[in-house]
Structure 1
Amino acid sequence: MGKDNVPFLTVMFPSTLIGAGENWTLMKSISVTEYLNYEVGTR
């Protein structure tokens, strides 16, 4: 999973599963990969 999904998949999505009141399997851990952000300058 990329770092742009971390807030959603660690906070928002599990809270919707808990709020649904059904017996969903929740994540025990999460693995996040960083990726390179860079800007290409123009001359």
Structure 2
Amino acid sequence: MRSGFLQTEEPGEVLSLWEYTPEYTACLLVVTLLSQALDHCVANLA
């Protein structure tokens, strides 16, 4: 069961997924920046 999971979750598949979805990478970057900005605002308000 574990070996099957490892076979389906190969690093090559993950890398190819990121290669073909630049918009997903951009979305992830924007979300990260927004969450950091929100944390900063909350820290200033507290």
* Structures share fold, TM-score greater than 0.5: no
What TM-score, normalized to structure 1? 0.35
What TM-score, normalized to structure 2? 0.34
More helix by share: 2
Greater Rg by CA: 2
Bigger relative contact order, structure 1 or 2, given CA contacts below 8 A and separation 6+?
1
